[in-house]
Structure 1
Amino acid sequence: MTSRRITTLGAAFALSALLGPGAALAAAAPSPAGSIAPPSVTAAAPQASGIPVFTDSHGLRLVPEDTQVHSPTDFTLTVTTPQVSGKHRIRILLPSAYGAGTDPDRRWPVTYFLHGGGGTVDDVAAAPALRSDSMITVVPDGGLKGWYADWVMQNTAEGAANWQTFHLSQVVPFIDANLRTRTDRAHRAVVGLSMGGFGALHYAEARPDLFGHVAALSGGIDFGMWQVRAAVLATELNVTGAWCASTTSGSAGSGRCTGYGPIVDSDAIFGSPYPVFGADRVWNAVDPAAPANLARLSGTAITLYTGNNDVIDVHTAAASHTVKGRLDRLGIPSRLVDYGNGTSLSPSCNGGHNYGCWAPALADYVPRLEGAFAAAG
């Protein structure tokens, strides 16, 4: 019987078909947003650094010696959990007034920002709008190819990989336990781009009780598209391509992706991608574009952004329009911004899969989100 798994060569062929001949150039070229190196950091104990004191909670154990302090309102914690192997960082941006002492009982809305494939928590440096004085921004590690999922296979080179459980059952309550947050859904948002665009929409559907607002930028949000499934397979097999080209986390802040980590089985994350005798049932169950999943977003504020001017965003545009059309048919309000070649969005945007477009898209979105938080009381 022929194996239904995809070899590394097969995934490379699939990704080549997905991306076209420009993929190698896209992977080698710096982002139009420019190369942004993560700011220098120093390790410090919270008590000596001016940042809030955090304690272990909800299965997360702090690694205090690995705390990185950029400023009293911008710092990175390191935690461990049995749910995901290894150490994992959580970058936190606080409003400037959080620790000012003028209103010590004030509680703040929270936005969770989910980075893309091949990225890290430091990618938030490329999106200045997320440094808001009206909300807390939390950027949890999503892995180079975590795909914001509890993996089907837990015995790969990655080890334990329950990313969804880590984020939704541990990180969110850990943040609420340690910071002065507004804990109702009207004051909590999840926002992501590329791989994180899938994560944002999937998390909003999986836990509508947690998130009242969701935004997906250039997201892989339609698992019914073979192009999106091929991109997931490419990350499993570390076939570096343009889905991973635009990140601030590359070597020395090069703006280039350094890869997706160790090769794992092509069925590791969502199981078999092939629609044969129900083999792809996990893909279908978590598909953000599935009408049954979209129906769970009734009462959620939904925003989608995409360009359509490179070998990746031509597919994220198709996925975004599919999702928008299905939401319309379900009678669920949503906002889609297809900025095409980027000229309608910003001079830095070429309509492609990069922070030259995502940063101005977030600059458009965040004030709207801040307004919605304020209107919720």
Structure 2
Amino acid sequence: MTPLRLTVLGAALALAALTGTGAATAAAPAVASPAAVAVSTAAAVPLFTDGYGLTLVPEDTEVHSPTDFTLTVTTKQLSGKHKIRILLPAGYDADPDRRWPVTYFLHGGGGNVNDVAAAPALHSDSMITVVPDGGLKGWYVNWLMQNTAEGAANWETFHLTQVVPFIEANLRTRTDRAHRAVVGLSMGGFGALHYAQTRPDLFGHAAALSGGIDFGKWEIRGAVLATELNLSGAWCAASSSSGSGGGTCVGHGPYVDSDAIFGSPYPVFNADRVWKAVDPAAPANLAKLSNTGITLYTGNNDLIDVHTAAASKTVHDRLGQLGIPSRLVDYGNGASLAPSCNGGHNYGCWAPAFADYVPRLEAAFATAG
């Protein structure tokens, strides 16, 4: 049977249900190369070595400060060049014998690695923060279709079997799961829970902020489809990489088939089997988090977060039914969180949410020894 595909009009209608305004995801590592690449000497940036399928492009390195820099890499898993922003604790150089916990921050749709600048709490003196490129619509999975305008799109392989070991080979990190976290917002909220479920051996902590974490909701599927078809609209504007979450939106890149990432979204003859298999809210996937610290943040005061609030509650309730503890912070209209927060899908809420979460994560890392 030929898979059912979503028309542009159908995706627009699906996204309208979410936004109210119209159209608004493992291979074994390679052996490390013996050649080391100095990405910067003037700013005392650490020496990095090619490996695990990643090749550095040293001329594209961006040094924001000695503890904040961006590498550029190429990999056969993805088309083109891709950035990895790294935030080091202030004491990294001064304490050469110390190893540090690591938090991986996954940005949202239409965003990029520089989004981390809008959440200052993630630049912590108690941990390393790594921000890998997730694409404008990568959705933190290996795409079913590899011959679209995006080309090779194996985001999950890139992050889990290349970036993680690359970071651990080049920086002084704690390599046990108790000292490794994955956090994300919006599209990256899906990625955080999906990666924690896919590789519970890697991540002992996971947090999703305004996450698209329930693929049982048609509104969440509609948001994914709109990114594939680049039907930006209100979703894109609300998910922008700007510090407030609004402003000019870069969109989600070129049009690709509506089945490109997860296959057909239609629950007909099990055509949506991939959506169900990777659904973070599926009880079988939630059961994989039995030994993981899980935190969920969401507002409920705009046409996007009203749905992320419902998704977060579903995940929280199902975890409870499985006897797995989790922390849900639904800050509603934002008044209980921060003056900058209006309860919507933006960094005015996400930045203070991270300011609340990071000290708790730091304490968990410290407790783990």
- Indicate the SS of the match to 1:341: coil
Unaligned runs of 5+ in 1: 28-43
Letter of the 1:64 partner, please give it.
P
Contact 2:214/2:311 (<8 A) preserved: yes
Range 6-15 or range 301-310, more displaced: 6-15
Letter of the 2:53 partner, please give it.
G
Measured in 1, the distance between the counterparts of 2:206 and 2:3 equals 38
Per-residue deviation, residues 209-256 of structure 1 (Å, max 9, x unmatched): 0000000000000000000000000000000033322456469x9743
Measured in 1, the distance between the counterparts of 2:46 and 2:236 equals 34
Q: Which runs of 4+ in 1 moved over 4 A?
A: none
Aligned residues between the structures: 355
- Indicate the SS of the match to 1:245: helix
Measured in 2, the distance between the counterparts of 1:375 and 1:244 equals 39
Structure 1 residue 13, shift from structure 2 partner: 2.0
- Indicate the SS of the match to 1:78: strand
Measured in 1, the distance between the counterparts of 2:323 and 2:190 equals 22
Q: Structure 1 length normalisation: TM-score?
A: 0.91
Q: 2:74 aligns with which of 68, 80, 93?
A: 80
Contact 1:83/1:160 (<8 A) preserved: yes
- Indicate the SS of the match to 1:5: coil
Q: 1:53 aligns with which of 28, 47, 50?
A: 47
Match of 2:87 in 1: 93
Structure 1 residue 89, shift from structure 2 partner: 0.1
Unaligned runs of 5+ in 2: 25-37
Measured in 1, the distance between the counterparts of 2:324 and 2:72 equals 38
Range 260-269 or range 234-243, more displaced: 234-243
Measured in 2, the distance between the counterparts of 1:320 and 1:369 equals 19
Match of 1:260 in 2: 252
Match of 1:37 in 2: none
Structure 1 residue 99, shift from structure 2 partner: 1.1
Q: 2:56 aligns with which of 59, 62, 87?
A: 62
Letter of the 1:84 partner, please give it.
L
Match of 2:336 in 1: 344
Letter of the 2:60 partner, please give it.
D
Match of 1:18 in 2: 18
Structure 1 residue 48, shift from structure 2 partner: 3.2
2:86 counterpart of 1:121: no
Match of 1:236 in 2: 228
Contact 1:250/1:258 (<8 A) preserved: no
Match of 2:34 in 1: none
Measured in 1, the distance between the counterparts of 2:218 and 2:11 equals 12
Contact 2:239/2:345 (<8 A) preserved: no
- Indicate the SS of the match to 2:145: coil
Contact 2:101/2:173 (<8 A) preserved: yes
Match of 1:32 in 2: none
Structure 1 residue 2, shift from structure 2 partner: 9.2
2:126 counterpart of 1:134: yes
Structure 1 residue 71, shift from structure 2 partner: 0.5
Contact 2:337/2:349 (<8 A) preserved: yes
Letter of the 2:68 partner, please give it.
D
Q: 1:110 aligns with which of 85, 102, 105?
A: 102
Measured in 2, the distance between the counterparts of 1:57 and 1:165 equals 14
Contact 2:227/2:252 (<8 A) preserved: yes
Q: 1:179 aligns with which of 167, 171, 174?
A: 171
Q: 1:370 aligns with which of 362, 365, 368?
A: 362
